[in-house]
Amino acid sequence: MTDLHADAVRVLTDWAPDAAGQDGLRRDYLAHLADRPDGMWRACLPGHITASALVVDPEGGRVLLTLHPKVGRWLQMGGHCEPGDDTLAAAALREAVEESGIADLALLAVDGRTAPVKLDRHQVRCAGKDRPENTHLDVQYVALAPAGARELISEESLDLRWFGWDELPADTDRSVRELVAMARGLV
């Protein structure tokens, strides 16, 4: 078991979700980790833990979304855990910084603790078309951008764009809308 695996177990054990259905997902994630010592890594099939962060500019009342090249939809920043990630929170922050180009992001702390905001389980194809779909067990955080932050598109995105809380693209999926609503209520 890696330090990252142990951190994920600790985070998910300590986290007390408020939203309906989240505790069942939390228990499913913990069962996955109990069964799979490799459950943090992309190579773990049929599913693995991922980490993401919704980048928000509280002063500007806006969120930064990436147009994901594989999915073709506007999503929060996020992706696979890597061996250099010591914690789930560090993985989410790394992904947010890499994909947004904003170096001075900080994860939202509630009651003095950095914790997930939401969990989302979804099907995705991680690699080439010859690979089967697998399940991402996504642990979602909120990352705070400084006022007036400027994004810088990376090769992992087709586009990056700021959207007002109530101005998300029409085809934004339910999960992202829920994450935005939760983040708005917290900041």
Supply the pLDDT for residue 69. Answer: 81
Supply the pLDDT for residue 184. Answer: 96
What confidence tens digit (pLDDT) does each residue in 99-150 have?
Answer: 999 999 999 998 789 999 999 998 876 655 566 778 999 999 999 999 889 9
Supply the pLDDT for residue 131. Answer: 64
122: exposed, middle or buried (Cβ count in 10 Å: 0-12, 13-18, 19+): middle
163: exposed, middle or buried (Cβ count in 10 Å: 0-12, 13-18, 19+): middle
The mean pLDDT of 54-68, rounded to a whole number, is 95
Supply the pLDDT for residue 128. Answer: 54
CA atoms within 13 A on the CB side of 31: 6
Supply the pLDDT for residue 122. Answer: 87
Structure pTM? 0.94
What confidence tens digit (pLDDT) does each residue in 8-44 have?
Answer: 999 999 999 887 789 999 999 999 999 999 999 999 9
Residue with tokens 């002063």: 59
Domain ranges of the chain: 3-185
Pairing of strands 47-57, 77-80: antiparallel
What confidence tens digit (pLDDT) does each residue in 64-111 have?
Answer: 999 988 778 999 999 999 999 999 999 999 999 999 999 999 999 987
The structural architecture, per CATH, of the domain 3-185 is Alpha-Beta Complex (3.90)
